[in-house]
A = this chain, B = another copy of it.
Amino acid sequence: MRDERRPTLTDVAERAGVSKSLVSLVMRDEPGAGAETRRRVLEAAGQLGYQPDSRARLLRSGRSRLLGVVFGIQHPFHADLVTGLYTAARETGYELALSAVTADRDEAEAIAGLLQDRCEALILLGPHSSAASLARLSGRMPVVSLARPVRHTGVDVVRSADAEGSGLAVDHLAGLGHTAIAHIDGGRAPGAAERRRGYRAAMDRHGLTGRILPGGLTESEGAAAARALLADPPTAVTVFNDRCATGVLDVLSRNGIAVPDELSMVGYDDSSLARLAHINLTTVAQDVTTMTRSALTRAIARVQNEPITRREIIVPPHLVVRGTTAPPA
């Protein structure tokens, strides 16, 4: 039963008693077919369970209408971004082709897979490739870097105003009365430099002395930083991202340091992690909806050769106050 050939456009045409072109038009919802014909075609297609073959369709039309997305399968924030991209892709006429970076599959490999699928543009989530190789890639097709700045005029960038985001966190804590505010940074991770810079600037603005501890983007790096913090704890800390903050939280609670009573903490990303009731992390939210919509719009604009003015789209973040911040004791 499984080996019956799939119905083709020709089958539908025969059954409906019309030509292939008519069927083609109807299936694509293009004008140029009479109401009665349209009905007959759809009926025939329905009876046969016809589904157009995208490969043939795209081969003929010379385009794939496919947007490649490279993401890190272990990154919770990338999960949020992919979710947003799928939503944004609805009704655009473009499909997403996902390609994951895993422990065993690097970015180059993930990109290579998409190239073979003839994607028309690439959206890379927090890409790690060098600016040079991204530049080379952008010579072949439009490339949008999402959530990581890239210093090359050929590559579009959509990202949060990370410096500003860090500033929001510091402002919030300073507003609560904190003066000893540390920052656990993200090392060389995408966005980390910006967030560090924003932290420093905001501390200066408030006339406070900053203190930056090396962190990273994973829980264990956060835990390590937290242990370093225990010797001489500040009253508040801003952390590179939520995942790292989770590690910090864990070490603090194991060492009997109450959050927020003894120590306030602000994360970054507003990932699903932060929203969990038992974590309930005050955090800087990247506007995922706007970011993903912008990335998609930009990719499509490039594909369609529309004129573009600003290469970088910078989306303002906002603070989400939850349960991990309070005035100092």
Contacts and interface: CB of A to CB of B under 8 A. Distances in A.
Interface of A: 1-2, 51-56, 58-59, 64, 73-74, 76, 79, 82-83, 86-87, 95, 97-100, 102-105, 113, 115-118, 139-142, 218-220, 223-224, 247, 249-251, 253-254, 256, 272-273, 276-279
Number of copies: 2
Nearest to A86: B105
A114 to B, nearest CB: 11
A328 to B, nearest CB: 20
A242 to B, nearest CB: 12
B278 A247 contact: yes
A142 B116 CA distance: 25
Contacts of A272: 74
Given A51-B115, A220-B277, 8 more contacts: A2-B139, A2-B141, A55-B58, A55-B118, A83-B100, A220-B278, A223-B277, A249-B250
A65 to B, nearest CB: 11
Contact of A86 (B55, B102, B256): B102
B98 A100 contact: yes
Contact of A247 (B51, B86, B100, B276): B276
Sorted nearest first, the 10 A-B pairs with minimum C-beta distance are A223-B278, A83-B102, A98-B98, A55-B55, A73-B79, A253-B253, A220-B277, A87-B104, A55-B59, A220-B276
A11 to B, nearest CB: 16
Contacts of A247: 276, 278
A105 B83 CA distance: 8
Contact of A139 (B1, B76, B95): B1
A161 to B, nearest CB: 25
A2 B120 CA distance: 11
A86 B100 CA distance: 9
A254 B251 contact: no
